[in-house]
Amino acid sequence: MPFNKLIEIPFEMPKSWGNAERWIKGDMINAVGFHRVDLLRLGKTSTGKRIYQMEALPDELFKIVRRCVLHGMGLSTLTKYL
């Protein structure tokens, strides 16, 4: 389906999540408040300081996400503008 795509995340994920491929499911979107979203925790340093994943998805991967969401919403004609 054009709203599903298998991608590889180009940075480290939390150990409990693994570093395998991930599926974009563009037909299963949700609205989430920023106050409910937290950074990905990678662990702690030897001094006990928390380590967070701060990298964002590269532009080419985020374009794939947008394309999948547009297909999932039935707006596939808009993908030509990405």
Residue 4 DSSP SS3: strand
CA 52/CA 31 separation, integer angstroms: 23
Strand positions, DSSP E, the chain: 4-7, 22-25, 40-44, 50-53
pLDDT tens per residue across span 49-64: 999 988 888 999 999 9
**Domain boundaries of the chain, sorted by first residue:** 4-81
Give the model's pLDDT for residue 61: 94
Is the alpha carbon torsion for 2, 6, 11, 12 positive or negative?
Answer: positive
- The pLDDT-based confidence of 67 (bands split at 50, 70, 90) is very high
With CA atoms as reference, report the closest residue to 24 among 61, 74, 78. Answer: 61
- Mean pLDDT over each residue of the chain, to the nearest integer: 91
Burial category of 30 from C-beta neighbours within 10 Å (exposed 0-12, middle 13-18, buried 19 and up) = exposed
